[in-house]
Amino acid sequence: MAPRAVVLLSGGLDSTTALAVARAEGYECHALSFDYGQRHARELESARRVAAALGATAHLTLRLDLRAIGGSALTADIPVPKARAAEAIGTGIPVTYVPARNTIFLSHALAWAEVNGAQDIFIGVNVLDASGYPDCRPEYIAAFEHLANLATRAGVEGRSRFRIHTPLIALSKADIIRRGRELGVDFSLTWSCYAPEADGRACGLCDACLLRSKGFAEAHLPDPRAADKGPPPPMSALGICFVGALGRRLNVRVRLAGCLGRRRSWTFPPPAPSAACCGAELADAASAAGST
């Protein structure tokens, strides 16, 4: 009989690949997701699709009202940072950190594992691209594993030796994408954006969108969800000014002419910066980046 594992599944690239790894290692997977009041609850639809596509034996979505606690741009009325430079994303603890989230999630996974007779818990944390999250670090994972075996009846009675698996912890986003692709993951099912647009598309500018774009670019693979960011409008309708490189990426702010009147933004892998930059737009972009 296949060993059972509980796999934390948000519906993003990382947790989806972690589930694929667990399946490839022969585990009977019980996927666990959380409807915690997150701004991007759209990810739960992806989690459902991913769990079905990767053959999870069970998929449980627990409701937790972390919005009542707040303290994060994902669970409170705090703006989600947009268009941050890659260097900024990789340093410090961002406002999208949800207080103690992985401890909350792993605690629930541990409870479900104890009931299910599972000794193994998979979590798709990684430290390279988003090093600012304290509950993604190896020392945190080791401490939680120690706790798991002290805090449960199954652990104390010696019936279980809980292990927390972090198969992605030392991988870059590009490595994770390559690993998922090797395992047959359909990344079109996944969702990354923290701040979906009103029409349901990914914003293309939050940290999660930028890391996703960077990962696919560095893996030299197309993002099957890239169309979510919307097709570029007709060139004849545009006045385009390049607004400067942020890290290894170029952000382009586009003013639509005439009745369209709405400002839209895209990011994409780095073409060479244009010499035709508009000074006012550069200042505007610097101000926008600084405000996040």
Distance CA 159, CA 77 (A): 45
Q: How many residues bind Zn ion (CB under 5 A)?
A: 5
Identity of the residue, 206 or 217, whose beta carbon is nearer to Zn ion in the bound complex: 206
CB-nearer residue toward Zn ion: 74 or 203: 203
Stretch that binds Zn ion, among 4-12, 119-127, 203-211, 277-285 (CB under 5 A): 203-211
Shortest CB 165 distance to Zn ion, Å: 28
Number of Cβ within 10 Å of residue 182's Cβ equals 12
Smallest separation (angstroms) from Zn ion to the CB of 199: 13
Q: Which is nearer to Zn ion, 51 or 206 (CB)?
A: 206
**How many other C-beta atoms lie within 10 A of the C-beta of residue 126?**
22
Pick the closer one to Zn ion by CB: 94 or 167: 94
206 scored as a contact of Zn ion (CB under 5 A): yes
With binding defined as CB under 5 A, does residue 89 bind Zn ion? Answer: no
In angstroms, give the least distance from the CB of 196 to Zn ion. 7
Closest distance to Zn ion from the beta carbon of 172 (Å)? 19
Q: Does 21 bind Zn ion (CB under 5 A)?
A: no
Is 246 a binding residue for Zn ion by CB under 5 A? The answer is no
CB nearer Zn ion, residue 98 or residue 203: 203
Nearer to Zn ion, 22 or 202 (CB): 202
Which one, of 137, 129, 128, lies nearest residue 170 by Cα? 128
203 scored as a contact of Zn ion (CB under 5 A): yes
Give the footprint of Zn ion on residues 162-201 (CB under 5 A): 193
> Which 207-236 residues touch Zn ion, going by CB under 5 A?
209
Output the smallest distance, CB 244 to Zn ion, in A: 20
* Token representation of residue 59: 């998929």
Provide the pairing of β-strand 120-122 with 163-165: parallel
Contact residues for Zn ion (CB under 5 A)? 193, 202-203, 206, 209
